[in-house]
């Protein structure tokens, strides 16, 4: 197995110079850097990441705690975070909570053991005290945490208002609001508040459906939506808390013989790939997930470099018109 000395000899450089290249310390010319990389490739040299993290007290790894990987939104977010991390020469250590209480405590200990450069948290089952005195930067994504160094959000309240205004403009006068589920207050809850506020201002009748806490992407929302539509005849519009819910609402409408968008218009939320795979395609509220993911990585990098980071960064959302409204 090749060693650091072997790489230095093959590149015609000192061990110290090769070490600086691997740890990205000090000025290194592009020519020197390429010489080291070429020698590493010829010798199939793999840096000892554990040893490097011990010497630097931190690795180039960023921890991610997600609720799940099944949901299209979180799958998209993980992809964007991983790409953004790669572009800044970080690796990703992924943990999924799957709604299990106290999982985060184990995840945090794993992050400490791996000497992560920072942690991004998206899970809604977190207990705030778990994240006190971490010793590395913490960024919360679409989640308020007093112990976080920074929080990245989208303007959910405005997103709900946009959805209401679009449905009202398209002639809807009795609108259903199909919210998601959570056991703790989340910024995403304000999309429902914005929606209901806009409807009240226009004196539009609304009917709400709050899903039971056990509902997930795996269990599906379809039975609840079907019963809701049966109980509430005459609904001519639906605001759905996610594209997943919107897709299942389309299925329920088809079963009940309700034409979308002629008799009932539907607006989703997130603008995931799913919104373009249904028939008709889902009109939805777009979250700038790519830009939000890049901001999370950038905030951790800046915090580690001693730069100022804002407590909250809020991104604008936008309406994407497709076929359901």
10 — phi, psi (to 5°)?
A: -65, -30
pLDDT-derived band at 220 (thresholds 50, 70, 90) equals confident
Bridge partners (DSSP) listed for residue 209: 178
Q: What is the pTM of this model?
A: 0.80
160 and 282 share a domain? yes
Residue at 169 is within a domain: yes
Q: Does residue 115 fall inside a structural domain?
A: yes
> In terms of domains, do 261 and 114 share one?
no
For the cut 90, the answer to whether the pLDDT of residue 161 exceeds it is yes
> Which residues have a Cβ under 8 Å from the Cβ of 204 and sit 6 or more positions away?
164, 168, 172, 173, 174, 175
Q: Which residues of 274-311 are buried (b: 16+ CB within 10 A; e: fewer)?
A: bbeebeebbbbbbbbbeebbbbbbbbbbbbeeeeebee
On whether the CB atoms of residues 182 and 163 are closer than 8 A, the answer is no
Domain check: are 191 and 125 in the same one? Answer: no
Residue 43 lies in a domain: yes
278 and 303 part of one domain: no
Q: Are residues 89 and 132 in the same domain?
A: yes
- As given in the structure block, the two tokens for residue 43 are 């010798």
How far is the C-alpha of 111 from the C-alpha of 249, rounded, in Å? 39
What is the distance between the alpha carbons of residues 126 and 129, in angstroms, rounded to a whole number? Answer: 9
Q: Are 210 and 226 members of one domain?
A: yes
Give tens-digit pLDDT for 1-20: 778 888 889 989 888 888 77
| 141 and 196 within one domain | no
Query: What is the strand order of the sheet 174-179 is part of?
Result: 205-210, 174-179, 237-240, 265-270, 283-286, 318-320
Helix axes 4-11, 15-23, angle to 10 degrees: 110
DSSP result, 291-314: HHHHHHHHHHHHHHTT----SEEE
Could you give the CA distance from residue 46 to residue 105 in angstroms, rounded to a whole number?
31
Q: Which two tokens stand for residue 213?
A: 């806490």
CA distance 15 to 178: 62
Domain range for residue 81? Answer: 59-154+289-316
Name the nearest CA neighbour of 188 among 292, 58, 298.
Answer: 292
CATH number of the CATH domain containing 34? 1.10.260.40
Q: Is residue 52 part of a domain?
A: no
pLDDT at 55: 47
6-15, 79-88, 198-207, 252-261: lowest mean pLDDT where? 6-15
Q: Are residues 184 and 272 in the same domain?
A: yes
Confidence of residue 264 (pLDDT cuts 50, 70, 90): very high
Q: Is 322 inside a domain boundary? A: no
- Tokens 């007093």 belong to 146
Same domain (yes/no): 169, 270: yes
Phi, psi angles (nearest 5°) of residue 86: -60, -40
Shared-domain flag, residues 234 and 295 = no
- Reference 175, options 141, 151, 198; nearest CA is 198
Residue 239 placed within a domain? yes
- Residues 98/68, Cβ–Cβ less than 8 Å: yes
Residues 289 and 153: their CA atoms lie apart, in Å, by: 10
How does pLDDT run across 49-68, given as a tens digit for each residue? 545 544 455 678 999 999 88
Q: Does residue 232 belong to any structural domain of this protein?
A: yes
Is residue 188 one of the residues assigned to a domain?
A: yes
Read off the pLDDT of residues 307-317 as tens digits, 9 standing for 90 and up. 999 999 999 99
Res. 90: pLDDT tops 80: yes
CATH number at residue 241: 3.40.50.2300
13 and 28 assigned to the same domain: yes
Tens-digit pLDDT profile for residues 225-258: 999 999 998 999 999 999 999 999 999 999 999 9
Structural domain count of the chain: 3
Q: In sequence order, what are the residues at sequence separation of 6 or more whose Cβ sits closer than 8 angstroms to the Cβ of residue 10?
A: 39, 42, 43
CA 308, distance to chain mean position in Å, is 23
What's the pLDDT tens digit per position in 24-44? 666 788 888 888 888 888 888
Q: Are residues 144 and 186 in the same domain?
A: no
Out of 104-118, 141-155, 177-191, which region has the weakest mean confidence (pLDDT)?
A: 177-191
């Amino acid at each position: 197995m090749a060693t650091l000395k072997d790489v230095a000899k093959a590149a015609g450089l000192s061990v110290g110079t090769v070490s600086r290249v691997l740890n990205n310390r000090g000025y290194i010319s592009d020519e020197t850097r390429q010489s080291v990389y070429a020698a590493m490739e010829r010798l199939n040299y793999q840096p000892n990441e554990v040893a490097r993290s011990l010497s630097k007290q931190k690795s180039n790894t960023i921890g991610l705690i997600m609720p799940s990987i099944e949901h299209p939104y979180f799958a998209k977010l993980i992809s964007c975070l991983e790409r953004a991390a790669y572009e800044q020469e970080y690796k990703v250590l992924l943990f999924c909570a799957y709604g299990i209480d106290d999982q985060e405590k184990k995840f945090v200990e794993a992050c400490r053991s791996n000497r992560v450069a920072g942690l991004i948290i998206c899970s809604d089952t977190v207990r705030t005290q778990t994240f006190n005195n971490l010793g590395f930067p913490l960024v919360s994504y679409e989640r308020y945490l007093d112990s976080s160094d920074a929080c990245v959000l989208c303007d959910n309240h405005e997103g709900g208002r946009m959805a209401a205004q679009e449905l009202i403009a398209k002639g809807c006068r009795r609108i259903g609001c199909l919210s998601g589920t959570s056991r703790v207050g989340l910024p995403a809850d304000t999309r429902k508040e914005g929606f209901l506020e806009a409807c009240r201002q226009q004196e539009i009748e609304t009917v709400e459906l709050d899903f039971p806490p056990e509902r997930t992407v795996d269990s599906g929302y379809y039975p609840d939506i079907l019963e809701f539509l049966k109980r509430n005849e005459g609904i001519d519009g639906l605001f759905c808390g996610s594209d997943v819910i919107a897709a299942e609402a389309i299925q329920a409408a088809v079963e009940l013989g309700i034409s979308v968008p002629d008799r009932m218009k539907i607006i989703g939320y997130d603008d995931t790939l799913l919104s373009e795979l249904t028939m008709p395609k889902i009109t939805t509220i777009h979250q700038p997930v790519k830009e939000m993911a890049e901001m999370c990585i950038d905030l951790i990098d800046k915090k580690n470099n001693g730069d100022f980071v804002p407590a909250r960064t809020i991104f604008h959302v936008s309406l994407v018109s497709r076929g359901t409204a």
